[in-house]
Amino acid sequence: MNERKKNMTKNIFKKCICFVLCGTMASALAFTTGGVKEAKAVNPIVQDVYTADPAPMTCSDGRLYVYTSHDEDETLNGFFTMNDWKCYSTTDMVNWTDHGTVLSYHEFEWAKENSSWACQCIERNGKFYMNVPINAKNGQTAIGVAVADSPTGPFVDPIGEPLIGPAPNYIDPTVWIDSDGQAYLYWGNPDLFCVKLNEDMISYDKDLNEDGFVNGIKTWNLETRDFPELSSVTDDNKYISSGEYANDASDELKDAQSQFGVGIRVDNKKVRRPTLYEERPWFYGRNGHYYMVYAANGIPERIDYSMSDSPLGPWEYKGVILDEKMEDNDGTGSFTNHSGVVDYKGHSYIFYHTGRLNDGHGYHRSVAIEEITYNDDGTIETAPMTNNGVDAVDTLNPFERVEAETIEYSNSLKASDKDRLGKYGVEKEPVADTPSDVCLTDIQNEDYVCVRNVDFTQWGAVSFTASCASDAGNGKSAGKIELYLDSTDGDCIGECDVVAGADDKTFVENKIELDKNVVKGTHDLYLVFTGDDSKDNLFRFDYWKFTQGPVPTATPTQGPVPTATPTQAPAANPTQAPAAQAPVQTKDKAADTSVSVPGKVKSIKAVSKKKKITVKWKKTKNAKGYRVRYTLDKKFKKGVKSIKTRKTRAVIKKLKKGKTYFIKVDAFAADKKTYGKVSSVVKVKVK
């Protein structure tokens, strides 16, 4: 968040009275949730499950979709453990809507479990074709295809058998349709194969026997067995590791390598795969050039590319797009990498994966994105792999229904290794029977999600509605959704009480009124969930929406009224930064000088279990909120942390077992500056 926007928010709050007209009348109180103050990262883009092998697709509905494979939380036999494919979409590159599991191996009667590897989906004539590698029942790899009428499924297998294979190493399909309508399907590791698909996209011409095609399949067979000078090489062969073999390689090998234009490896460890090409081809055409982008150079993989003037080559090696190391010079945390390249709203992107989510590694991968640049001759600049990801190319319109599972990031990202697996941070599940319609669940006290670049317009928002379901008991309180601008430490613009319906399947709309003079302009929005700390799931959350304030009608004395109307979606101009909205000045809050000093906080008690300390105290006169300070230093000089809360209890989380903490509490007044006398200090050992 840039300084301008931050200051603007602060100014609004200095100058405005926050009239949040919900039952409990929210104060503009900031508080700290565990881990929130750490630098934010929008890479990886999904933080509640492990996603890998991204395949982006621009869709005729205007959205950008990304299909991913899914690394299971529990890794079996120290190898890839993958059973289904997931889908996410965006209109702005930073907020991603989760469409859940869109396909699994169960759809393919001929397929085995635990081999749902890298897919790609492509749209043709209103239908969506998902090409997937999956093991057939005999254990060999094959390419399957499933078809849907919508980008999020349901996908069905129209042929009831593999489209291609089974055969060894048939993985990583990539499909692209050329301007003449011819579709090409490439795949393979470490060979690269290709077929020309028929127009139905679910068959190919098996009689095709052009030069280089064998029953419709073209193969660049570069395995060691074909090159005697490489077959005799051992792993410690200095001759190979010196790189000299590249010069002395037979003409036959050089021909084979140049045929695909993927460069020559000089590392002895990689000699069984003598070209740089490893796996995951990503094939596409752009401005008269054809591109083959692929995982390269053995492990850890980097992303290289070759170019051609024809969809079938010959290819010319062009270099590296993503190196093995990230911007911070550390590895990605994943021995594989895997790319998908796409243009969207005037920008070009490369999707890839790392092992950078908590508990991430080569079988716990997560999808990330970088922007890339094409030069005039079509070549691509090497891009850094970052933790910050990409900038927004559009704003999010809060006046249309926004799925609760539309998220830039959530606190799941920062949860500890052990806690992450279904115990901490928001999770998602289907709302009902349709797997692709999901809602947030496993919402615990102080979990949060952030939605970035929300354009409340200069007319502001006058109400907020959230649709939730809970088993708290019909009509009972299930918790709250607290709304903060720009950070969880930012200003609270409203607290929405969540009232339970008949059961946790019955979604109920909860609504609060807001002050349009406060909720305006473009902000990051934090939805912080609060409620009973002992509950594993306060409520399920399906969607939210703001209502825009009335747009004033032009009068002769007024200046020109901007053309934006309440129902108008934000202009889809990717390169345009969101317009700065001038805050409307209202009554000066500073004029209110009558502040009553709160009393001393009394009866403080603290207990510890499961690496947390729960602190409680009695309600204090004139207190608008409380500050809980804790430290390992009995003199409160070093390492003092604090939590602010409106309640008379606080839970301090993620503490070190066996350590003794000192805790004290004081209350503050409505001005949030005037503090009462501090409580006595309590001492607690973390259990």
Report the C-alpha gap between 331 and 298 in whole angstroms.
Answer: 14
Q: How far is the CB of 345 from ligand FUB (least distance, A)?
A: 27
Instruction: Mark 272-302 as b/e (b = at least 16 C-beta within 10 Å).
Output: bbbbbbbbbbbbbbeeeebbbbbbbbbebbb
* Residue 677 contacts residue 665 (beta carbons within 8 Å): no
Any bridge partners for residue 132, and if so which?
A: 144
Any bridge partners for residue 38, and if so which?
A: none
Six token digits for residue 205: 């011409």
Binding mask 271-290 for ligand FUB (x = CB under 6 A): --------xx----------
Q: How far is the CB of 567 from ligand FUB (least distance, A)?
A: 43
Question: Which amino acid is residue 471, in one-letter code?
Answer: D
* By the rule CB under 6 A, 338 interacts with ligand FUB: yes
* By the rule CB under 6 A, 322 interacts with ligand FUB: no
Report the candidate in 509, 507, 484 with the shortest Cα–Cα distance to residue 497. Answer: 509
Say which residues have a Cβ less than 8 Å from residue 295's Cβ, sequence separation at least 6.
Answer: 278, 279, 280, 301, 302, 303, 336, 337, 338, 339
Question: Which amino acid is residue 122, in one-letter code?
Answer: I
Decide whether 298 or 490 has the Cβ nearer to ligand FUB: 298
Decide whether 132 or 415 has the Cβ nearer to ligand FUB: 132
Rounded to the nearest angstrom, the gap between the alpha carbon of residue 509 and the centroid of all alpha carbons in its chain is 27
Report the C-alpha gap between 123 and 598 in whole angstroms.
Answer: 64
Q: How far is the CB of 189 from ligand FUB (least distance, A)?
A: 7
* By the rule CB under 6 A, 171 interacts with ligand FUB: yes
Q: DSSP assignment of 82-126, as one string?
A: EEEEEEEEESSSS-EEEEEEEEEGGG-TTBPSS-----EEEEETT
Q: How far is the CB of 171 from ligand FUB (least distance, A)?
A: 5
Decide whether 53 or 408 has the Cβ nearer to ligand FUB: 53
Q: Which of residues 426-455 bind ligand FUB (CB under 6 A)?
A: none
* Residue 371 contacts residue 342 (beta carbons within 8 Å): no
* By the rule CB under 6 A, 191 interacts with ligand FUB: no
Number of residues engaging ligand FUB in binding (CB under 6 A): 13
Q: How far is the CB of 368 from ligand FUB (least distance, A)?
A: 13
Binding ligand FUB by CB under 6 A: which of 31, 50, 80, 543?
A: 80
Binding ligand FUB by CB under 6 A: which of 69, 104, 257, 581?
A: 69
* By the rule CB under 6 A, 415 interacts with ligand FUB: no
* By the rule CB under 6 A, 52 interacts with ligand FUB: yes
Report the C-alpha gap between 505 and 189 in whole angstroms.
Answer: 45
Side by side, which strands form the sheet with 605-609? 605-609, 612-616, 649-652
DSSP 25: -
* By the rule CB under 6 A, 81 interacts with ligand FUB: no
* Residue 126 contacts residue 462 (beta carbons within 8 Å): no
Say which residues have a Cβ less than 8 Å from residue 196's Cβ, sequence separation at least 6.
Answer: 182, 183, 184, 185, 204, 205, 208, 216
Decide whether 141 or 517 has the Cβ nearer to ligand FUB: 141
Decide whether 85 or 526 has the Cβ nearer to ligand FUB: 85
Q: How far is the CB of 264 from ligand FUB (least distance, A)?
A: 22
Q: How far is the CB of 362 from ligand FUB (least distance, A)?
A: 9
**Does residue 13 come out as left (phi exceeding 0), alpha (psi in the -120 to 50 range) or beta?**
alpha
Decide whether 295 or 496 has the Cβ nearer to ligand FUB: 295
Q: How far is the CB of 268 from ligand FUB (least distance, A)?
A: 23
Q: How far is the CB of 262 from ligand FUB (least distance, A)?
A: 16
Q: How far is the CB of 190 from ligand FUB (least distance, A)?
A: 12
Decide whether 169 or 674 has the Cβ nearer to ligand FUB: 169
Decide whether 89 or 337 has the Cβ nearer to ligand FUB: 337
Six token digits for residue 334: 């994943």
Q: How far is the CB of 303 from ligand FUB (least distance, A)?
A: 11
Decide whether 279 or 471 has the Cβ nearer to ligand FUB: 279
Omega of the bond leading into 162 within 30 degrees of 0 (cis)? no
Q: What distances in angstroms separate CA 446 from CA 531, 541, 665, one per listed residue?
A: 8, 15, 20
* Residue 340 contacts residue 131 (beta carbons within 8 Å): no
Side by side, which strands form the sheet with 491-499? 409-410, 448-455, 522-530, 477-485, 491-499
* By the rule CB under 6 A, 115 interacts with ligand FUB: no
Binding ligand FUB by CB under 6 A: which of 48, 53, 107, 403?
A: 53
Binding ligand FUB by CB under 6 A: which of 89, 308, 336, 463?
A: 336
Q: How far is the CB of 50 from ligand FUB (least distance, A)?
A: 11
What SS3 class is residue 165? Answer: coil
Decide whether 367 or 466 has the Cβ nearer to ligand FUB: 367
Binding mask 289-308 for ligand FUB (x = CB under 6 A): ------x-------------
Decide whether 172 or 515 has the Cβ nearer to ligand FUB: 172
Decide whether 20 or 171 has the Cβ nearer to ligand FUB: 171
What SS3 class is residue 228? Answer: helix
Q: Which of residues 382-411 bind ligand FUB (CB under 6 A)?
A: none
Report the C-alpha gap between 273 and 280 in whole angstroms.
Answer: 14
What SS3 class is residue 101? Answer: strand
Q: How far is the CB of 338 from ligand FUB (least distance, A)?
A: 4
Binding mask 228-267 for ligand FUB (x = CB under 6 A): ----------------------------------------
Decide whether 369 or 606 has the Cβ nearer to ligand FUB: 369
Decide whether 200 or 223 has the Cβ nearer to ligand FUB: 223
* Residue 639 contacts residue 629 (beta carbons within 8 Å): no
What radius of gyration, in Å, describes the C-alpha atoms of the chain?
Answer: 29
Rounded to the nearest angstrom, the gap between the alpha carbon of residue 569 and the centroid of all alpha carbons in its chain is 23
Omega of the bond leading into 556 within 30 degrees of 0 (cis)? no
Q: How far is the CB of 352 from ligand FUB (least distance, A)?
A: 9
Q: How far is the CB of 52 from ligand FUB (least distance, A)?
A: 5
Binding ligand FUB by CB under 6 A: which of 117, 204, 464, 541?
A: 117
Report the C-alpha gap between 639 and 642 in whole angstroms.
Answer: 10
* By the rule CB under 6 A, 118 interacts with ligand FUB: yes
Residues contributing to the site for ligand FUB (CB under 6 A)? 52-53, 69, 80, 117-118, 171-172, 279-280, 295, 336, 338
